[in-house]
Homo-oligomer: A and B are copies of this chain.
Amino acid sequence: MRATFLYGAGDVRVETVPDPVLQRPTDAIVRIVRSCICGSDLHPYHNLPASQQGTPMGHEFLGVIEDLGAEVSGLRRGDLVVAPFAYSDNTCDLCREGLHTSCRNGGFWAAGDVGGAQAEAIRVPQAAGTLVKLPVGEESELLPSLLTLADVYGTGYHAAKQARLTSRTTVAVIGDGAVGLMAVLSARQLGAERIILMGRHDDRTKLGVDYGATDVVPERGAEGVEKVRELTGGQGVHAVLEAVGYRDAYDTAFGIVRPGGVISRVGVPQYEEAPIGFGSLFGPNITLTGGPAPVRAYIDDLLPGVLEGAVEPGRVFDQTIGLEQTPGGYRAMNERTSVKVLIRP
């Protein structure tokens, strides 16, 4: 089959590799019908050291089950399924607590002996706990929206959930990428009435307004902080949903959050140490929360709205390519000419 690999910063290649096969009785093999490129794929695209050994890429997919291990229950060959960006058994204590990204038998795509999803097919460990059957056909127009359940929609929703929003919560979303836009949509769904979107790409922030943003702040850094404070009568916001991951986004977050507020991070941090002492988080009683979204936990909540057409998270995809065009898809996202690229392998 054909699959995508990264050989170093900017060096994306689509190559022929052996087809995946069942390795354990809990595995499934899925033929991928839709995949996509994630904002977080751009981090290694920027800084992966060059190597002879390619790194498989992609962690979002929906597809059709082609083969099933003997111990996989609840699924059949031919089922159209969506997978969260982490696989999990859905039965351990941490999964039962809704924390599938920390599953005791779980893991991530494109790591260890598991392939990436920007490919024609993939081996799915813990298939029964991981895959969720979709009640639509392979040609459904809902596929782009259903694919967002694999990551960006659940990730934006996680940011909003962890911030414990109510209708009285004033929210700022940092970042107008797909996850930021999904955070806006989720904040609105959870009842927030004032949602400030910090982003500077017109096409994206327009979609953000459609999704429920009441204000757009294109300024960044100290200017952006100043602007959000102005918009909130000098107070700052109750909740910041940080959907970028760079250190300056974190600095903006604690610059605009109100005392007693929450910073909820879902952008993968590109830093390890940062201020959390008296002068930043502690003095004003700021809560810092978030992490990799346990997307599996949210699919059941979010799927009905997508099937009914009540929400259209798939609007974040503004370009569709074939698998062979994946290198160009990375370039488009990197150059911000595309919000999110859909792949039809």
- Are B277 and A282 interface neighbours, CB within 8 A? no
CA of A100 to CA of B330, assembled, Å: 49
How far apart are A284's CB and chain B's nearest CB, in angstroms?
Answer: 6
On whether A260 and B292 interact (CB within 8 A), knowing A269-B278, A282-B265, the answer reads no
The verdict on A273 contacting B277 (CB below 8 Å), with A259-B99, A287-B288 known, is yes
In Å, the complex CA distance between A278 and B292 comes to 9
- Sample of 7 further A-B pairs with CB below 8 A, known A99-B260, A272-B280, A287-B287: A97-B260, A101-B285, A265-B282, A274-B276, A281-B291, A285-B292, A288-B288
What is the CA–CA distance of A97 and B273 in the complex, to the nearest angstrom? 31
Choose from B101, B265, B268, B279 the contact partner of A272 (Cβ within 8 Å): B279
Judging by beta carbons under 8 Å apart, are B288 and A292 in contact?
Answer: no
Whether the pair A99, B277 counts as a contact (CB closer than 8 A) is no
Whether the pair A273, B276 counts as a contact (CB closer than 8 A) is yes
Complex alpha-carbon distance, A34 and B269, angstroms: 48
The contact sample of 9 A-B pairs, CB cut-off 8 A, is: A102-B259, A162-B287, A265-B282, A268-B278, A271-B277, A272-B275, A272-B279, A281-B291, A288-B289
Question: Which residues on the B side are within 8 Å of A276 (C-beta)?
Answer: 269, 272-274, 276, 288
Q: How far is the CA of A277 from the CA of B287 in the complex (A)?
A: 15
A322 is an interface residue with CB less than 8 A from chain B: no
* Option from B101, B265, B282 in Cβ contact (under 8 Å) with A292: B282
Q: How many residues of A contact B (CB 8 A)?
A: 37
Interface status of A314 (Cβ within 8 A of chain B): no
- Chain B residues within an 8 Å CB radius of A294: 285
Given A102-B259, A269-B277, A292 contacting B287 (CB threshold 8 A) = no
Contacts of A94 in B (CB 8 A): 259-260
A171 to chain B: which residues have CB within 8 Å? none
Interface assignment of A290: CB less than 8 Å from any CB of chain B:
yes
Contact (Cβ within 8 A) A278 B286 = no
Contact call B162/A260, Cβ cutoff below 8 A = no
Interface pairs A-B: 5 shortest CB-CB: A285-B291, A102-B259, A272-B277, A287-B289, A99-B260
B284 and A288 contacting across the interface, CB-CB below 8 Å? no
In this complex, what residue of B is CB-closest to A99? B260
Contacts of A265 in B (CB 8 A): 282
Say whether A290 contacts B280, CB under 8 Å: no
A283 at the B interface (CB under 8 A): yes
Q: How far is the CA of A286 from the CA of B276 in the complex (A)?
A: 14
